Amino acid sequence: MFDYIEMFYNPTRKHTNNGMLSPVDYEAEQKEMNEAGV
């Protein structure tokens, strides 16, 4: 159960405090913005 929550559910679950993005998507977006110099 712990592995399911930590490895699948939490990284893909959408969060309201980061624009309804999953943590994985949010980090990818932040990385793109940093590379673009924004």
Quick one: pLDDT at residue 12?
81
More confident of the two residues 5 and 34: 34
pLDDT tens per residue, range 3-32: 877 777 777 888 888 889 988 899 999 999
Give the pTM: 0.63
Quick one: pLDDT at residue 31?
95
Beta-carbon contacts of residue 24 (< 8 Å; ≥ 6 apart): 11, 12
Q: Is the pLDDT of residue 1 over 90?
A: no
Q: Is the pLDDT of residue 38 over 80?
A: no
The total of structural domains in the chain comes to: 1
Domain that residue 8 falls in: 1-36
How far is 34 from 28, CA to CA, in rounded Å? 10
Q: Which residue has tokens 């943590």? A: 23
User: What Å distances lie between residue 1 and 5, 19, 29, 30, CA to CA?
Assistant: 6, 27, 29, 30
